[in-house]
Amino acid sequence: MTEPASPALASSAAIEDAAVLLRKAERAVALTGAGISTPSGIPDFRSEGTGLWSRDEPLEVASLSTFRTAPERFFQWFQPLANCIFNAQPNPAHLALAAFERSGHLRTIITQNIDGLHQKAGSQHVIEMHGTLRTLSCTNCFKQFEAVPFLKPYTETGKIPQCLNCNGILKPDVILFGEQLPQSAWYEAQRAARQCDLMVVAGSSLEVLPVAGLPMQALDRGAHLIIINNTPTYLNVRADVVILEDVAATIPEIAKRVFHG
């Protein structure tokens, strides 16, 4: 490989290459991770060093076993994250992906995020691998509730959400450490990965299995791969285009080229 003449030139060529692949693709899929939501002010829920983790051991507090044995501790940790997500707005990367779906350039988004920002941006077909904050489920009778009426008072007062039916504790429908991925979402994501002709990884370091294996499934069936992430991933060597930059700055630039040539 030759060294690029300048970072700006290399990056603009990569953006053009990415736009060409997106224009040609018929069944493109995006795989998004925490990096697409950090520009919206949402800390990476599964990474250390984000402030959320400073007081507690992350794997322990964000786990199903802590939720079961010490829900007040879980909720104490969860409150700032929920509050942050509650107030967050989609950024230009979310909006550009939604525009790609509307224009037929993108079929599906597979996301590792729980913040619902793709939907807020207008994306219709979103597979949520780690669940969602939009609903809560009773740990006792399993009745499901819309989260907003519970989360708003919870973020303001810290009162743990309780079931209206049986007073059981309500668990956010997000996948905690120690929990299985939702099976239907996993099957749907695998199907999307195997059928796509282009996968765009955006803001994921591809470190969390099994989701991190999805681009490999796409590659094995001949799909092209674009990786946009500000740190390298294990698949950079196999990608057609790698852009080591912030997704919120990059994806709108690709969109300009896709829509306006």
CA distance 119 to 88: 12
CA distance 162 to 185: 27
Is 141 an interacting residue with respect to Zn ion (CB under 5 A)?
yes
Pick the piece of the chain touching Zn ion (CB under 5 A) from 2-10, 157-165, 174-182, 229-237.
Answer: 157-165
Is 138 an interacting residue with respect to Zn ion (CB under 5 A)?
yes
Residue with Cβ nearer Zn ion (68 or 257): 68
Pick the piece of the chain touching Zn ion (CB under 5 A) from 43-51, 137-145, 197-205, 242-250.
Answer: 137-145
Residue where the block lists tokens 């786990």: 63
Is 65 an interacting residue with respect to Zn ion (CB under 5 A)?
no
Q: Is 252 exposed, middle or buried (0-12, 13-18, 19+ CB in 10 A)?
A: middle
Is 117 an interacting residue with respect to Zn ion (CB under 5 A)?
no
Largest CA distance in the chain: 66
Q: For residues 90 and 40, is the Cβ–Cβ distance under 8 A?
A: yes
Can you tell me which of 39, 71, 168, 252 binds Zn ion, judged by CB under 5 A? 168
Is 109 an interacting residue with respect to Zn ion (CB under 5 A)?
no
Residue where the block lists tokens 């796409």: 218
CA distance 60 to 74: 9
In angstroms, what is the minimal distance from the CB of 1 to Zn ion?
A: 58
Is 163 an interacting residue with respect to Zn ion (CB under 5 A)?
yes
CB count within 10 Å of CB 257 equals: 17
Can you tell me which of 87, 166, 221, 256 binds Zn ion, judged by CB under 5 A? 166
Pick the piece of the chain touching Zn ion (CB under 5 A) from 38-46, 68-76, 82-90, 143-151.
Answer: 143-151
Q: Which of 94, 118, 130, 224 is catalytic?
A: 130
In angstroms, what is the minimal distance from the CB of 162 to Zn ion?
A: 8
Can you tell me which of 148, 165, 187, 232 binds Zn ion, judged by CB under 5 A? 165
- What are the backbone dihedrals phi and psi of residue 73, each rounded to the nearest 5 degrees, phi first? -70, -45
Cite the active site residues: 130
